[in-house]
């Protein structure tokens, strides 16, 4: 099966709104939403997040790009993510426009919990693709196809937990909604040497 990295900060369509940083009310614990740590009861009621004046767009897409390394989607996409059997938080917030008025209350931060060991290693080092493939942590890392046998439908990469990867199956489910502002980049795969004891991919904390 193919796997894709989700672009969390697309800027292709300039008319779409963008978000920066994160909601101010969770500034002290926002790192959890980037590292796959649970927010739990530390996520307060009535969270708001204001559109970025620097980017200036006002249209509401299915996926809102943001500079905070978070996955922000509308209710329709959130419900697709909710159907997969993966530990995750789906945290609501009120989207505030440039005039400080609530533009929508139907957006959510998707926080897949834990990480998954999925990258190919050779001689103890992470293998990289010479061309093609999506970027993980700024590098063209390669997925280990043997580890992917136990991969969940959506996961964070162990070495770069800010990156969120989804399966072809989940990507197809998202595409049935014809979403806007959703960009996926396929990741290269290769097998670890048969003489090497395979490291089973696991979801961890």
Q: What CA–CA distances, in Å, run from 7 to 10, 106, 164? A: 6, 20, 9
- Name which of 19-33, 38-52, 66-80, 128-142 the model is least confident about: 128-142
Work out the angle between the directed axes of helices 75-82 and 168-175 (0-180°, nearest 10). 150
- pLDDT score of 134: 63
pLDDT band at 125 (very low <50, low <70, confident <90, very high): confident
Average pLDDT over residues 12-40: 95
Residues facing residue 50 across a β-bridge: 96
- Name which of 146-150, 170-174, 201-205 the model is least confident about: 201-205
Contact 183, 5 (CB under 8 A): no
- Mean pLDDT (the chain) is 89
Res 41 pLDDT > 80: yes
pLDDT band at 137 (very low <50, low <70, confident <90, very high): low
Res 202 pLDDT > 60: no
This prediction has a pTM of 0.88
Res 131 pLDDT > 90: no
Average pLDDT over residues 128-151: 78
| Digit-coded pLDDT (tens) for 164-177 | 999 999 999 999 99
Query: What does the alpha-carbon distance between residue 136 and residue 7 come to, in Å, rounded to a whole number?
Result: 11
Question: Where are the chain's structural domains?
Answer: 9-112, 115-192
Cβ neighbors of 71 (< 8 A, separation 6 or more) are 6, 8, 63, 109, 110, 111, 164
Query: What does the alpha-carbon distance between residue 32 and residue 113 come to, in Å, rounded to a whole number?
Result: 9
DSSP secondary structure, 146-182, as one string = TGGGG--SEEEBSS-TT-EEEEHHHHHHHHTT--SS-
Res 203 pLDDT > 50: no
Contact 83, 45 (CB under 8 A): no
Contact 195, 169 (CB under 8 A): no
- Name which of 76-80, 133-137, 177-181, 182-186 the model is least confident about: 133-137
Average pLDDT over residues 70-75: 98
- Name which of 5-19, 84-98, 124-138 the model is least confident about: 124-138
Residue bearing the bigger pLDDT, 195 or 93: 93
Q: Which two tokens stand for residue 195?
A: 């003489």
Average pLDDT over residues 132-154: 82
Query: What does the alpha-carbon distance between residue 95 and residue 115 come to, in Å, rounded to a whole number?
Result: 28
Res 197 pLDDT > 70: no
């Amino acid at each position: 099966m193919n796997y894709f990295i989700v672009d969390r900060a697309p800027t292709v369509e300039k008319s779409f709104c963008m978000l920066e940083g994160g909601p101010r009310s969770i500034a002290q614990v926002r790192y959890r939403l980037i590292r796959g740590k649970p927010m739990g009861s530390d996520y307060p009621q009535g969270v708001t997040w204001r559109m970025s004046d620097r980017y200036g767009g006002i249209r509401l897409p299915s996926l809102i790009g943001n500079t905070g390394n978070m996955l922000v989607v509308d209710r329709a996409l959130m419900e697709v993510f909710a159907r997969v059997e993966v530990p995750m938080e789906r945290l609501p917030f009120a989207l505030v426009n440039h005039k400080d008025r609530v533009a929508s209350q139907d957006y959510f931060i998707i926080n897949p919990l834990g990480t998954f060991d999925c990258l190919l290693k050779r001689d103890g080092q992470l293998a990289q693709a010479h061309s093609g493939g999506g970027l993980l942590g700024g590098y063209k890392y390669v997925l280990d196809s043997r580890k992917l046998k136990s991969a969940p439908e959506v996961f964070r990469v162990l070495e770069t937990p800010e990156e969120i990867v989804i399966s072809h199956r989940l990507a197809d489910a998202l595409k049935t909604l014809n979403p806007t502002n959703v960009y996926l980049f396929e990741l290269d795969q290769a097998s670890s040497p048969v003489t090497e004891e395979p490291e089973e991919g696991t979801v961890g904390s």
